[in-house]
Amino acid sequence: MYDLVIKNGVIVTEGFRFEGDLAVEGETVAAIGKDLRGKREISAEGQYVLPGGIDIHTHMALPVGGTCSSDDFFTGTAAAACGGITTIVDFTAGSPETTLANDLETRLETASPAVIDYSFHCEIVGWNEKRPEEMAAVLGKGLGTFKFFTAYGDSGRRTRNGALLEAFREISSLRGKALVHAEDDDIIHRLLEELPEDGISDMRNLAFTRPDECEALAVSTVSWMARRTGARVHVVHLSSGLGLEEVLLQRRLGTPLSCETCPQYLLLTEEVYGRPEGHLFSASPSLKKEADNRRLWRGLAEREINFVATDHCPFTREQKTWKGSFTALPYGLPGVEMLMALLFSEGVKAGILSLEDFVRVTASAPARFMGWYPRKGTLLPGSDADIVLLDPGIDWAISAQDLHMAVDFSPYEGMRVTGKTTCTISRGQIIAQDGEILGSQGRGRFVGFSSK
């Protein structure tokens, strides 16, 4: 008799579907079959049994622009669990004054209240002659993915091309991966200069100053460096069809390039900036056009985009108070709790993605990216028992007041979706059920990157 058996569900991985039972022993999946018996049994009649979602791009408790993202590692991971996410990958907070090891130690302490498992990408801010040695050191502590910015030069986060080329060489030698926020800083500044004197007071000009050419050029530049050095490079939060076409071109040239997109770039457009509360949608990259939404959806379905992440970086209405300029806003949107529901409703139910595609872009592909598969990202026997039950028949309207993220608005407020997570299991423990958080603060574990 197993510790836990999920009965009579449709079990789905990226490779198969099976109608039957899934058994858990301790923290791992033990068996898939029929008529399995457990000390505790959960009925999954009429529901899908899926690998827990992996959100590879979140920003919990992130200091930015004199404030801090409104979700800490407890509220953010509890909300994630309610939405079917069982592992997140966040970021260290880099600075020129600290070592990468210091950044990791600080972030591990900040993340200790997490309800679900977590990891980090190592943010590189400020390149110097000691960084290569520091990168090798944190690789031994479980960090092998390194984040760079080609924008945000004014805040000191941009890594210029000479340093970026050097960093890519080091990453290639370490068999790590480089993550890049790909927007061309010079284009952004030139377009800001072209605005009329009162141009920054029009929220719609956020899209004007961060166009698709801005993204595509940055993708092209970092791809040349990736080819030259052999570094594996990943473009985060791809937002445009032109950016995706550049990714595909660079792959044809032999660049080891992967990419992700986010729900906001699949579902929202720059039209929202013209709303009375358009400033609440401030994010970088900017939202684009409906044609970009369609192209990114097709890219997901055709495996041109590797997976979906949220870039969850929440701020409250008060934090996003309009001060007369879109440049004075904190950039970021809440999303970690809605990833699974939005992709299922607008992807699977809409006929764009198959169930197997859904599992691939929410679980198995991000697990492979981090070197975790098949420990995570699947329901094969021996894998971590990170499991989600999703009821495909629940029709509901999104409302910030019903969600668990520490934010008082949703970019998708009032949108009706079909399909909802009813139960989330992390390493064999039920941590969320029917919208109730059951997992205890601090039960999450750090999971290190593997270069395999």
Pairs from 109-113 (Cβ < 8 Å, separation ≥ 24): 110/60, 110/61, 110/72, 110/73, 111/60, 111/73, 111/444, 111/446, 112/73, 112/442, 113/72, 113/73, 113/74, 113/77, 113/441, 113/442
> What is the tens place of the pLDDT at every residue in 23-38?
999 999 999 999 999 9
pLDDT score, position 451: 85
Written as one letter, the residue type at 111 is A
CB count in 10 Å sphere of residue 35: 9
Residue 187 pLDDT class (50, 70, 90 cuts): very high
> What is the tens place of the pLDDT at every residue in 387-416?
999 999 999 999 999 999 999 999 999 999
> What is the tens place of the pLDDT at every residue in 288-341?
999 999 999 999 999 999 999 999 999 999 999 999 999 999 999 999 999 999
pLDDT score, position 65: 80
The C-alpha atoms of residue 366 and residue 376 are separated, in whole angstroms, by 9
> What is the tens place of the pLDDT at every residue in 7-22?
999 999 999 999 999 9
Residue 209 pLDDT class (50, 70, 90 cuts): very high
| The pairing of beta strand 117-123 with beta strand 145-149 | parallel
Instruction: Tell me what percent of the residues of the chain surpass a pLDDT of 90.
Output: 99
Q: Which tokens in the block code for residue 44?
A: 């999954």
Residue 261 pLDDT class (50, 70, 90 cuts): very high
Q: Which tokens in the block code for residue 107?
A: 């972030």
> What is the tens place of the pLDDT at every residue in 416-437?
999 999 999 999 999 999 999 9
Instruction: Tell me what percent of the residues of the chain surpass a pLDDT of 70.
Output: 100
pLDDT score, position 326: 97
pLDDT score, position 420: 98
pLDDT score, position 47: 98
pLDDT at position 66 over 90 = no
CB count in 10 Å sphere of residue 185: 18
| The pairing of beta strand 177-181 with beta strand 145-149 | parallel
pLDDT score, position 445: 98
Cβ(94)–Cβ(100) under 8 Å?
A: yes
Q: Is 388 helix (H, G, I), strand (E, B) or coil?
A: strand
pLDDT at position 275 over 90 = yes
> What is the tens place of the pLDDT at every residue in 134-181?
999 999 999 999 999 999 999 999 999 999 999 999 999 999 999 999
Average pLDDT of the chain is: 97
- Find how far residue 27's CA is from the centre of its chain: 24
Domains of the chain (ranges; CATH) run 2-50+385-437 (2.30.40.10), 65-369 (3.20.20.140)
Residue 64 pLDDT class (50, 70, 90 cuts): confident
Kindly list the distances between the CA atom of residue 123 and the CA atoms of 99, 292, 386, in Å, as whole numbers in the listed order: 11, 28, 27
pLDDT score, position 132: 97
Q: Is 47 helix (H, G, I), strand (E, B) or coil?
A: coil
Q: Is 100 helix (H, G, I), strand (E, B) or coil?
A: helix
pLDDT at position 452 over 80 = no
Q: Which tokens in the block code for residue 395?
A: 């029709």
